[in-house]
Amino acid sequence: VVVNTCGFIEAARRETIEEVLDLAQLKPRLKGLVLTGCLVARSAAELEETLPEVDAFVDFAAYPRIAEIVHDVAEGRAAGPVHGDPGRRFDPAWWDASIAASPRLRLGRAPWSYLKIAEGCDRGCTFCAIPLMRGKLRSRSLDDIETEARALAELGVSELSLVSQDSVMWGRDSGEGTLVTVIRRLEGIDGLRRVRLMYLHPQGVTDELVDVILGSSMVASYFDLSLQHVTAGVLRRMGRWGDRERFERMLGRIRARAPRAGIRSTFILGFPGEGDEDAAEVERFVADNELDWVGVFTYSREEGTRAFGLAGAVPDAVARERAEAVDGAAQLTMARRASAFVGSTLDDVLVERFDPGGDAWVSRSEREAPEIDGHVRLGARGAVGVGDYVDVAVTGSEGADLVGEIAPSRGEARARRRSS
C-alpha cells in the first residue's frame, strides 16, 4: 500500500497518521507500507520514529525511483526506510525528473481524473506552508499537458479537473501563455467533454477569465475561489488580496452572467489579530452570498511560515466557535442554494458510480467538483451506466445535495441510443 500524504496543516497530518495506523493493522496481509508526499518531505525523521510500521518513506527527490523502491519493499529487500532528501527545500528538478520518469498510469476506472498543470506557488500567503514543501511556481509545458490529457481521454476519462497550487498563475514562469491558453489547447481533444479549473486565486479571476470560462462549451461553469477571509485587515495580514466589496463585485459579475454556475470557497477563522467583528463579517458574507460550496477551517499555526510569529493569537476555543458559526451559516446557504434547483433540469450530469446501499446512481453536474463537493443522486430507474452523461430533472434536495430523475425527453433519447 502506498499512501500519498498531506502535510500542510496539523489536521491533515493527524488524519494521515490515523490512516497509516489503520493500515498498519492490515500489515500481516500486506507486502509493505510506503509513504510518499508532503508530510514525508516535511517530517520524515519524526515519522520514522513514530511509525515503525512503515517500510519506506519516499521523498520527492526519490520519486523517479519509486517503482524500484516499492518493488524492493514488496520483495522484502528495502535498503533503509528513508529515500530521497527530506527536509530540503523543494527542487523543481525533482518534479521534472519524476514526470519524465513516470508516464501517467491510472488506478481505477472513474470517468474523471485530475490533471496537474503546475507545481509550487509564488504568492507567499503568510499562513501557508505549501511553498516550503513545493517551492516556486513551475508550469508544466503545454505539450506535456496536452499529451497527458489525450492519454487520459483515450483511457475513457471524459472530465478533467485541472489542479495546481495557483492555477491562474499558469504560464507566468514559462512564458507559454495564460490559463486561457491551456483551455484553448484542451478544447477539441476527442473524448474530453468537461474541464474544470480548480484553485483560482481571486486576484487572477479577471473579467476575461470569467468570460472564457462561461463562454466555453467545454469548461465547467464552476469557480473554485479560495477567498480565505473577507475583511481587508485580516486579508492583508494573511498576505492576500481583496476584501468583501471586491469579492462581491466578482461574485455579482459571475452570477449576472451565469446564475447557475457553481461557486466554491474556503475560509480560515482564528487568524492572529482576527477580532469578533472580523469573524462576524465572514459569517454575514457567507449568509448573504449564494455560494454553492463552502469549506470552513480554523487557522493552523505552521512552523516556517511568516504568520508563525505573529502577535494576536486567537485561542483555539474561540477560533473553533467562530468557525462553527460560519459553518452554520454555510450549511444554510448551501442548502438554500441547492433547493433553488428543485424543479429545474440539469444538463450533462456525469454518472459516476452506483450506490447499492442507497439504491441510486451517484452523479455530478458541472456545479459539483469530484471528491470535495456534493452529488446529484439519481433513482435507479433508467438505462444508464458509469461514464454516461444524462439530463436530470431535479426533484428534491437533501442539504447541499440534489436528488433527481433522468429527464424523460432527452434522457430517454440517450437511453435508446445506448441500447441500439
Using CB under 6 A, which of 58, 61, 73, 128 touches ligand SF4? 128
Cell of 335: 442548502
Give the burial class of 177: count Cβ atoms within 10 A of its Cβ; 0-12 exposed, 13-18 middle, 19 or more buried: middle
Verify binding: residue 166, ligand SF4, rule CB under 6 A.
yes
Amino acid sitting at position 120: G
| Total number of residues that touch ligand SF4 (CB under 6 A) | 10
Using CB under 6 A, which of 130, 197, 251, 378 touches ligand SF4? 130
Verify binding: residue 131, ligand SF4, rule CB under 6 A.
yes
Verify binding: residue 121, ligand SF4, rule CB under 6 A.
yes
Three-state DSSP class for residue 371: coil
217 Cβ contact list (under 8 Å, min separation 6)? none
- What is the secondary structure of 68-87 as a DSSP string? HHHHHHHTT--S-SEES-TT
Verify binding: residue 201, ligand SF4, rule CB under 6 A.
yes
Verify binding: residue 373, ligand SF4, rule CB under 6 A.
no
Cell of 302: 505552521
d(CA 41, CA 50): 15
∠ CA(355), CA(357), CA(358), 5° rounding? 70
Task: Kindly state the smallest distance separating residue 253's Cβ from ligand SF4, in Å.
Answer: 21
Q: Is 38 or 82 the residue whose CB approaches ligand SF4 more closely?
A: 38
d(CA 142, CA 150): 12
Using CB under 6 A, which of 40, 66, 69, 125 touches ligand SF4? 125
Q: Which stretch binds ligand SF4 (CB under 6 A): 47-55, 120-128, 303-311, 334-342?
A: 120-128
Verify binding: residue 251, ligand SF4, rule CB under 6 A.
no
Cell of 279: 469573524
Verify binding: residue 182, ligand SF4, rule CB under 6 A.
no
Of 168, 158, 176, nearest to 199 by C-alpha is 168
Task: Kindly state the smallest distance separating residue 196's Cβ from ligand SF4, in Å.
Answer: 18
For 148, the enclosing helix (H) or strand (E) is helix 142-154
d(CA 417, CA 420): 5
Verify binding: residue 304, ligand SF4, rule CB under 6 A.
no
Give the burial class of 369: count Cβ atoms within 10 A of its Cβ; 0-12 exposed, 13-18 middle, 19 or more buried: buried
Using CB under 6 A, which of 52, 87, 124, 399 touches ligand SF4? 124
Q: Is 81 or 131 the residue whose CB approaches ligand SF4 more closely?
A: 131
Task: Kindly state the smallest distance separating residue 120's Cβ from ligand SF4, in Å.
Answer: 8
Task: Kindly state the smallest distance separating residue 153's Cβ from ligand SF4, in Å.
Answer: 28
Amino acid sitting at position 48: E
Using CB under 6 A, which of 43, 139, 158, 165 touches ligand SF4? 165
Q: Is 124 or 252 the residue whose CB approaches ligand SF4 more closely?
A: 124
Verify binding: residue 123, ligand SF4, rule CB under 6 A.
yes
Binding site for ligand SF4 (CB under 6 A): 121, 123-125, 128, 130-131, 165-166, 201
